[in-house]
Structure 1
Amino acid sequence: MLTLATATWGSAFIAGKYAVVSFEPATVAFLRFLGAAIILFPIMWTVEKNRPKRTKKDYLLFAILGLTGIAIYNICFFLASKHAPVIKSSLFIAANPILIVLLSSIFLKEKLTKNHIIGMVIALTGVSFIITEGDFASLIQLGFEPIDLILLGAVISWALYSVVGKVVLAKFSSISSTTYAVGFGTLFLLPFAIYETSWADIQSASLTAWLSIGHMSVFVTVISFVMYYYGIKEVGAAKSSIFINVMPLSAVIMATIILGETFTLFHAIGATFVIIGVYVAMRVKKDKTNKGNRLSTKKIGA
């Protein structure tokens, strides 16, 4: 589920490229989540009629989720789609698991294991290999640019979103958490969309841009966000974050199929590293679960 969710996020890189041709970044983000909100709220009201009672603290946490993972992250993401070099923006996004792991260990007290850290490093190495095509020196040649601060903002905001999301999931389901986060995020994005977009922009937007926004609303947001949140609830924020490394990998594969870009040996090697890294990181939980089951069986037998 986590693999499918993060792989679908990879398509946002391609859809975003098409969308920002017709609209400014904040407007793309607003339209994306407005469409998602229109879908999510009826679903939540239908399937979760007995939702836990919301308190002021809950609404504050929902607002933080909307501000970090919906508003700030997506403004930064679409700005990067329009202005940042792919090699640099992809690496920044791929660095998300590192910060999530650190914040999870500090604030959520999630235990970090040796295999977990090794898996994270292996997966991140694979992503770096894909993006740089084996030429890691090219990162140094790019140097520091103002867009780097925006990319750093994307990384920090998504890490906060994942960690706070774990707290919210202790009381609410993945559907409710995602829906309220999207609702607040859409409200935060509205002023930016009004400021930078005119009615003429909406009328002149291409069909491709609208289809791209629709894809991001339904598949990238509604379906994938719910699956990712459910994954956080099941295995924790730190382990779930490892799967973010699948996102740039899927983006490369989709670019090969949709945009006709060449799938190189570097992509194949990097993909192998990503798969191995995710397996190693999740192997820890599997081993411990099997061990716990064996111990439980012995106790029951006794």
Structure 2
Amino acid sequence: MIKKHWVIYGMLTIATATWGSAFIAGKIAVQSFEPATIAFLRFFGAAILLFPLMWLMEKNRQKPTLKDYGLFAVLGLTGIAVYNICFFLATKHAPVIKSSLFIASNPVLIVLLSGIFLKETITKNHIIGMVIALTGVTFIITEGHLLTLFQFGFEPIDFVLLGAVFSWALYSVVGKVVLRKYSAVESTTYAVAFGTIFLLPFALVETSWQDILSADFLTWVAISHMSIFVTVVSFIMYYYGIKEVGAAKASIFINVMPVSAVLMATFFLGETFTWAHGIGAAFVLTGVYIGTNPKILRRKLIAEESSFKRLSS
């Protein structure tokens, strides 16, 4: 069981690290298209890949009920449509420091909602792991200058960022309910299908056929990357992780996303990797390790009690 959990943790790390590349790809794509159009093209491409994959992998799948379709629609609305419109709007209009910190706060809300609605146990390790990881994320985003956070006032774009945080938290929690009956592939496929439908009207309004034809090759590479790797591969791994270890524990790995975004920006965009990035990454990895290993603090407390008893005797 322990070995299996480490495999799941590895999958969650890869999935959330891949999401970090969406910041890079999104920066490229918003040069040619508006946010809803990028989201639509990304998930339309993903749907084309996901349905054949589901038919191939899930031979004995059951027919969804009307209630199930309702849950899939909620997933498509929250995690696919609303979250991605908010994400790409923030990519285009919000400072990176502010948008990254908002999105990095996702695990906190997911853990709270999982405890309230799914009755998942919230342990001290979850809380301590989240705090340490979020500290690391903050360190990375501000490059060690924590006072930078207080330089921003509340702006209209903050409502968009709050929308991104709440929609992803709802997506993760409702996803756990859906995964009790359906596989990660089925859940992702139906969610993407509904999300693509919800995004279509927005894409039709804000984009013309001329915009499609004039987009350059790099834009299509960025969108293809988001369709294949950021969506199809990573969403399936993340959903499988939620099913195996729970939404609260899986959400801690979201803190890996800004770390990978910084590393990729350094490699692909030529940005400088600073000492603050290294310290922040260490905090994130430590927080994830503590948050996913419930026996760590227990072992430490037992060791301290044993030492105390030996000294007292």
TM over 0.5: yes
Q: Separation in 2 of the partners of 1:43 and 1:135? A: 46
2:104 aligns with: 94
Q: Separation in 2 of the partners of 1:118 and 1:165? A: 25
CA apart distance, 1:286: 8.4
Which one-letter code corresponds to 2:29 in the other structure?
A: A
Q: Report if the CA contact (8 A) 2:79-2:167 is conserved.
A: yes
Matched, 1:227 2:237: yes
Which one-letter code corresponds to 1:145 in the other structure?
A: E
CA apart distance, 1:192: 0.2
Matched, 1:140 2:150: yes
Matched, 1:157 2:167: yes
CA apart distance, 1:53: 2.5
Q: Separation in 1 of the partners of 2:215 and 2:125? A: 48
- TM-score with structure 2 setting the length: 0.91
Tell me how many residue pairs correspond in the alignment.
Answer: 288
Matched, 1:243 2:256: no
Q: Residue 285 and residue 192 in structure 1: after superposition, are their counterparts in 2 closer, same or farther (change >3 A)?
A: farther
2:25 aligns with: 15
- Secondary structure of the corresponding residue to residue 293 of structure 2: helix
2:307 aligns with: none
CA apart distance, 1:139: 1.3
CA apart distance, 1:197: 0.2
Q: Report if the CA contact (8 A) 2:16-2:234 is conserved.
A: yes
One of 185, 204, 208 as aligned partner of 1:198 = 208
One of 43, 47, 55 as aligned partner of 2:53 = 43
Which one-letter code corresponds to 2:122 in the other structure?
A: L
* Two-structure CA RMSD over aligned residues (Å): 1.1
1:149-198, CA deviations, whole angstroms, 9 ceiling, x for partnerless residues?
00000000000000000000000000000000000000000000000000
Q: Separation in 1 of the partners of 2:297 and 2:258? A: 28
CA apart distance, 1:52: 2.1
1:24-63 equivalences under 5 Å are 24-63=34-73
CA apart distance, 1:285: 6.7
1:298 aligns with: none
Which one-letter code corresponds to 1:67 in the other structure?
A: L
Q: Which runs of 4+ in 1 moved over 4 A?
A: 285-288
Q: Report if the CA contact (8 A) 1:24-1:197 is conserved.
A: yes
1:81 aligns with: 91
2:302 aligns with: none
1:180 aligns with: 190
Matched, 1:67 2:77: yes
Q: Report if the CA contact (8 A) 1:36-1:182 is conserved.
A: yes
Q: Report if the CA contact (8 A) 1:52-1:171 is conserved.
A: no
Q: Separation in 1 of the partners of 2:297 and 2:228? A: 36
- TM-score with structure 1 setting the length: 0.94
CA apart distance, 1:287: 9.2
Unpaired runs of at least 5, structure 1 = 289-302
Q: Separation in 2 of the partners of 1:68 and 1:217? A: 18
Q: Report if the CA contact (8 A) 2:125-2:297 is conserved.
A: no
